[in-house]
Chain A
Amino acid sequence: MTPTGLEPARMNRKKGDKGFESPRPYKLTHQVVCINNINFQRKSVVGFVELTIFPTVANLNRIKLNSKQCRIYRVRINDLEAAFIYNDPTLEVCHNESKQRNLNYFSNAYAAAVSAVDPDAGNGELCIKVPSELWKHVDELKVLKIHINFSLDQPKGGLHFVVPSVEGSMAERGAHVFSCGYQNSTRFWFPCVDSYSELCTWKLEFTVDAAMVAVSNGDLVETVYTHDMRKKTFHYMLTIPTAASNISLAIGPFEILVDPYMHEVTHFCLPQLLPLLKHTTSYLHEVFEFYEEILTCRYPYSCFKTVFIDEAYVEVAAYASMSIFSTNLLHSAMIIDETPLTRRCLAQSLAQQFFGCFISRMSWSDEWVLKGISGYIYGLWMKKTFGVNEYRHWIKEELDKIVAYELKTGGVLLHPIFGGGKEKDNPASHLHFSIKHPHTLSWEYYTMFQCKAHLVMRLIENRISMEFMLQVFNKLLSLASTASSQKFQSHMWSQMLVSTSGFLKSISNVSGKDIQPLIKQWVDQSGVVKFYGSFAFNRKRNVLELEIKQDYTSPGTQKYVGPLKVTVQELDGSFNHTLQIEENSLKHDIPCHSKSRRNKKKKIPLMNGEEVDMDLSAMDADSPLLWIRIDPDMSVLRKVEFEQADFMWQYQLRYERDVVAQHESILALEKFPTPASRLALTDILEQEQCFYRVRMVACFCLAKIANSMVSTWTGPPAMKSLFTRMFCCKTCPNIVKTNNFMSFQSYFLQKTMPVAMALLRDVHNLCPKEVLTFILDLIKYNDNRKNKFSDNYYRAEMIDALANSVTPAVSVNNEVRTLDNLNPDVRLILEEITRFLNMEKLLPSYRHTITVSCLRAIRVLQKNGHVPSDPTLFKSYAEYGHFVDIRIAALEAVVDYTKVDRSYEELQWLLSMIQNDPVPYVRHKILNMLTKNPPFTKNMESPLCNEALVDQLWKLMNSGTSHDWRLRCGAVDLYFTLFGLSRPSCLPLPELGLVLNLKEKKAVLNPTIIPEAMAGSQEPAINPSIHAQLLGFQNPFSSSQDEEEIDMDTVHDSQAFISHHLNMLERPSTPGLSKFRPASSRSALIAQHSPGCDGTPATKSPWGIEFARKGAGKEQAPLEMSLHPAAAPLLAFPKESASAKHGEHHHHHHHEHKKKKKKHKHKHKHKHKHDSKDKDKEPFTFPSPASGRSARSPSLSD
């Protein structure tokens, strides 16, 4: 059970590890996680972990592990009590900082705090001192077993409990719990090395109620009843070395479904959903087959589990041999729209099983390789499953997304390299957050990062061919699986980690091609390319003069140099030309093949070899050019703005077979509202062979064109006759046929066309009455009785169409909106919405799509002044207990209301929901929506922008969201949107003499701050080993004294306590010590001190002004001095081991504190006395570890 390695450490050193150098002075080989008790009522977890490690340096005296939220009772190393301290600077990022409120400062401090506990830098929140008895043992590099007892009470992150408040036992209520989080978040639920690069084997044990099932990683070895037969223990073994970050857990009264095609695959869902589960997962085996085939590699784990849970953190989360999905992905066979989405989620998670779970990464800067490969093979699956059109459309969509994001924010860097520590080298200076750690990233950035990663993989494929690409993947996988089977040679396990350099080396080995320029362009550098193209045809020379300009000065752009493919469709055929882009603006002469004299009645050959008849009357008689495309294969991450005549776009739309080209031409045609464009679009709409998504886009374009042509438009409203012809009865054209959605293509078109039609406007800028009647008739005659599929999405879109038809109300000087002055058209719309919304209560639709659309429509009516603007309805739908889609739609409306009506009350309501809502996803989403649709922005005057709000948000990101990385980054995003990087302008002038810690090079100072303030600014260090926790001056006027008193209960005192102990823990400096220990590790240790002792400002200000000290206790004065980095001697560590009695005593206190938080202060004093009485030797006393997060060290009592 415990693989005692053959001293892997030593071998590791001898062999000189291949590329991977562990940041830790030890190697973890095996970890046991045992959760003995899970209490759903109290939402608590009790258990222990046991880590088997091999020291790799002789003088290992401290072991740093990651742990958050956990209350640690006891640590033993090889059965000896070990002292430990707990210090988490991310709990509160900036301390004693009441007036700063400057995001730049915060971001630096946050990045520093994260790196102070970053396992990839060898750091951790939990620092365990190796008992002196074991030093000799350690010096021989012998195995250590670290046994940690811990508990978790009401976790706010990491583990999520869902406990519906109904009658019955927990199992009957459908209560469940699952692990969740953003990137490496396992430390939130058990102590571990929370790094993707520290692999080990696992033994996982979970004792749960007999009616529950515990699903976790690896193989379920056995299930054993407890002695009272009321509980059972699930024993899991994971023999494939896996990072702690890929460990997961889901416990609940799950229904079990063994995959009928693959018996080693098991699916789990919540009670009553089994039929949906059966249908939803019935497809999974095909995805398995696909991946195994293209990768020519078996699925690496011996089993696979899918668990569908409620209140999911993300829709899809992949962990070693299991994936956790949102239960909302489940669907029945009647649902059309959700099916491809769910299948995509399944495929995505499976791709990540290979790359992400089985193969892990060396460091955060290698993340792009994993995300890139998994995204890329997922793309291949898309191509195979949904066809090339869908695939190309998806690529185009992703490309547009990343281009738009990069141009907006200034770039996404896939492979950040942090060298030198020079501020100037900061690769992401344009961003308001650090990209050095995954945990400081904005969620949106991370999403875009993944998107860019797979697009870049595709570029590499373009360069080296898919065959080689797959060979590279196969090589990575086979190396990893060889390594994984080396049970006792843990040094080999680093083969299971992928790195950028290893990946590139593999590519060059396999393909023999040099892709360095490509990597340099897209991976080592951020930004996309912006092309502007135009052309002229030179008749005399029969040459196409193409001009391609680049914009590489705007933020988010970069200069492109290299080949660029241009496709020219001429009368005689389609021709590819590869241009070399060298200078900024360059004219390229492309000789034309065709003579402009056209042969009548000759078919025109297309790129795909097809020959078609075209009506050439529209084109320029002198030119043989039909259309031109720049970079048709999307082999550059670019945005192309190309100018060509309207008829060329029309030809391109009609005859080019590539869906991307069609899509582009549709967008271009928006600028050409002519009858010819109208005809081209209508033809496309009618063409059955045309890709349905193109036809859907054409609908909206046609609506726009019709609106531009409104004065000259003839005939019925756009698309009406078309719709009638396609979907209405032959005999009675105003009645739609009874629904038959067997053909998905026409289903999607049928859904979309009315939505687009509702955007039509007449000369008065109103939606034509005819269109409204038409939509109302569609709703009226909708008949789904004979349909095999549900029409809930269709009906929802009809409501969307109604909402689209709404135009602003003509308001006579702000009259109050009442029923009497309701516009008759609006009355009809409202009638429908009311009926739909009420019917939903009786016959709810799948995922409540109809309610969602109704809520949106009501908001549109409110916004346009037809209905009184009122958030009450939305607030009731936003309550916990509604289906999440409904809640989000309602919250979106409230966010919009907050913005439009500038309502302070609603903003407060939203903020309190961000802090208190039970569902992490909803909290994240509110922040996200507030950021997207902010109530005000930094340059805007708003009554909402006041000091209290600044304080509130600051508190939220500073300490209120420490349990959820994603949420905290969301809060940072919102703060940035509202106030920008510098000090919010609504704040009063800072006190004179305040020193701000700002990046020097940035003009981030609030202009109101006098320039002298800059004098003392420090340069925050980039090097992770130097802590950049820079403290501002204490504001002497701040009410810190009072704050301190309150904060004592939570963070400060414990940290003061910790910081004190950190010194105590330090092993006496031995002569050999400095030699062996890398310099960085010591400074890292020091670095870690400063955030910890932030209860008292520990960093001595370099400019030598005495700072005001806070009231954390007078007795700490000497401590502060000793902590100063410049004078941080390694203090003597009391060698006496803990007396068991004292241990007990402390333990007792600990519990008392937990129980009687209210009486905390009293306890605190009591403890204080007690301690000082007990130990006269103790040089200083300190506050007790009051909070659950605080540490307890047995050694302290001596």
Chain B
Amino acid sequence: MADTMATAGAGSSGTRSGGKQSTNPADNYHLARRRTLQVVVSSLLTEAGFESAEKASVETLTEMLQSYISEIGRSAKSYCEHTARTQPTLSDIVVTLVEMGFNVDTLPAYAKRSQRMVITAPPVTNQPVTPKALTAGQNRPHPPHIPSHFPEFPDPHTYIKTPTYREPVSDYQVLREKAASQRRDVERALTRFMAKTGETQSLFTDDVSTFPLIAARPFTIPYLTALLPSELEMQQMEETDSSEQDEQTDTENLPLHITDDSGAEKENTSALQQNASLSGSRNGEENVIDNPYLRPVKKPKIRRKKPHCGA
């Protein structure tokens, strides 16, 4: 059966490449496939001991075989997709066959049966005469895992991505112009949107829409927005910061062991942060910094003598 399929495929492709008579490639393909299937059916019939068969019955058998194969393919595809894959694996096929009531175990024996017939590969027809004008680049050779009788790769232009540079815009002026107007448009659109959707103030009494100002809204903690860099800036800062720090450590720690020192410093600062957030809980490791604000908070004594009760 597997062989049959393989040959069927080969046959189809062969017919396709050789299909000169047909105008429509899809029809062409169908015809070729069908012809190969007929050959398969015929040979199977021969194998089964038939000497001749009516055309109609051969057609019927061919139809059945075709639906059977199609069903295997469809089903295998479903199984494969079910497990979130795109390429069916052997197990998909096996499950399909089992599902369709086929005893898979018999397959190897069947394949090795003595009386089986081998269908010759479909005759390789001449290379299609492709008009020279259409060739664009070299057709890719088959990779080793594809049998050579498989059709060749189509022309590269049909599958290779060809970036189309219109005149690459390298003019600085235009670029800047564009960047500027783009940003301006975005800003304007954004602010207008904000103004439209929220409260606004206006400088004119007669017209409130031409220069809409987003209404001033007091903050609960005004200094935070005023002092903290926006996330955008923060990112930028981190980048520059790290590069700066590198430079610094490079120059400063030249005579020292660079790794040790910066490592220690990092530990300290992280310890600091922890301490700060946990309000003074001591980090397990030895703390280099002895600062009263980092010391742990003492537990109250049971009978703490109140200081300064007056003498």
Interface residues, chain A, CB within 8 Å of chain B?
A: 1-2, 32, 34, 50, 76, 78-79, 145, 147, 164-166, 174, 203, 205, 210-211, 213, 219-227, 229, 232, 235, 255-258, 260, 263-264, 266, 270, 272-274, 276, 303, 310, 327-328, 330-334, 729, 731-732, 735, 780-781, 783, 788, 790, 817-820, 830-831, 834-835, 837-839, 841-844, 846-848, 858, 861, 867-868, 870, 872-873, 876-877, 879-885
Contact = CB atoms under 8 A, between A and B. Distances in A.
Interface size class of B (residues with CB under 8 A): 35 or more
A328 B227 contact: yes
A876 B215 contact: yes
Interface string B271-311: 01101100110000000011111110111100010011011
Contacts of B207: 818-819
B310 A145 contact: yes
A332 B291 contact: no
A46 to B, nearest CB: 16
Nearest to B269: A260
Contacts of A32: 307-308
Contacts, number: 223
B25 interface: no
A333 B248 CA distance: 14
Nearest to B222: A883
Contact of B203 (A731, A847, A873, A879): A873
A333 B240 contact: yes
Interface string B103-114: 000000000000
- What are the 6 A-B residue pairs with the smallest beta carbon separation, nearest first? A881-B218, A838-B191, A220-B292, A732-B173, A883-B226, A819-B207
A257 B272 contact: yes
B188 interface: yes
B289 A258 contact: yes
Contacts of B190: 842
Contact of B295 (A34, A223, A842, A873): A223
A783 B195 CA distance: 25
A297 B179 CA distance: 57
B6 to A, nearest CB: 59
Given A76-B310, A257-B272, A881 B229 contact: no
Contacts of A834: 191, 211-213
A846 B226 contact: yes
A334 B233 CA distance: 8
A260 B268 contact: yes
B1 to A, nearest CB: 64
A831 B187 CA distance: 12
B226 A848 contact: yes
Nearest to B296: A223
B220 interface: yes
Interface string B207-226: 10011111111111111111
Given A272-B224, A830-B211, A224 B308 contact: no
Nearest to A847: B226
Given A34-B308, A334-B233, A839-B191, A783 B225 contact: no
A276 B228 contact: yes
12 contacts: A1-B308, A222-B298, A256-B272, A256-B294, A263-B290, A303-B292, A729-B176, A819-B211, A841-B194, A868-B203, A870-B203, A873-B203
Contact of B225 (A165, A211, A788, A844): A844
Given A210-B279, A258-B289, A225 B273 contact: no
Contacts of B70: none
B232 interface: yes
B63 interface: no
A38 to B, nearest CB: 17
B172 interface: yes
Central interface residue in A76, A276, A303, A873, by most chain B CB within 10 Å: A873
Interface in B65-124: none
Contact of A264 (B179, B194, B227, B291): B291
A327 B204 contact: no
Contact of A332 (B181, B205, B210, B237): B237
A729 B224 CA distance: 37
Contacts of A272: 224, 228
B265 interface: yes
B171 to A, nearest CB: 9
A838 B213 contact: yes
A781 B291 CA distance: 50
A835 B181 CA distance: 13
A766 to B, nearest CB: 22
B206 interface: yes
Nearest to A876: B216
A210 B194 CA distance: 42
Contact of B279 (A166, A211, A220, A881): A211
B126 interface: no
B291 A881 contact: no
Given A211-B279, A783-B180, A837-B213, A232 B297 contact: yes
Contacts of B135: none
Contacts of B293: 213, 220, 256, 258, 266
Contact of A867 (B191, B204, B289, B295): B204
Contact of A873 (B201, B233, B294): B201
Contacts of A165: 220
B157 interface: no
Contacts of B297: 210, 223-225, 232
B228 A885 contact: no
B78 to A, nearest CB: 50
Contacts of A330: 227
Central interface residue in B187, B210, B299, B308, by most chain A CB within 10 Å: B308
B60 interface: no
Interface string B138-167: 000000000000000000000000000000
A834 B192 CA distance: 10
Contacts of A883: 219, 222-223, 225-226
Contacts of B250: none
B184 interface: yes
Central interface residue in A222, A223, A831, by most chain B CB within 10 Å: A223
B229 A258 contact: no
Contact of A790 (B176, B195, B212, B233): B233
Nearest to A844: B225
Contacts of A174: 221
Contact of B229 (A213, A255, A334, A838): A334
Contacts of B224: 272-273
Contacts of A817: 204
B244 A882 contact: no
Contacts of A873: 201, 203, 213, 216
A258 B222 contact: no
B280 A273 contact: no
A846 B298 contact: no
A327 B229 CA distance: 14
A783 B222 contact: no
B130 interface: no
B194 to A, nearest CB: 7
A255 B278 CA distance: 10
B307 A263 contact: no
B280 A790 contact: no
Contacts of B222: 881-884
B241 interface: yes
A50 B310 contact: yes
A147 B310 contact: yes
Nearest to A210: B279
Nearest to B239: A788
B291 A225 contact: no
Nearest to B192: A838
A52 to B, nearest CB: 9
Given A210-B279, A263-B291, A841-B217, 17 more contacts: A2-B311, A213-B293, A221-B292, A256-B293, A258-B294, A260-B268, A264-B291, A328-B226, A333-B237, A333-B244, A732-B172, A788-B240, A843-B230, A868-B204, A880-B218, A881-B218, A883-B222
A385 B226 CA distance: 28
B236 interface: yes
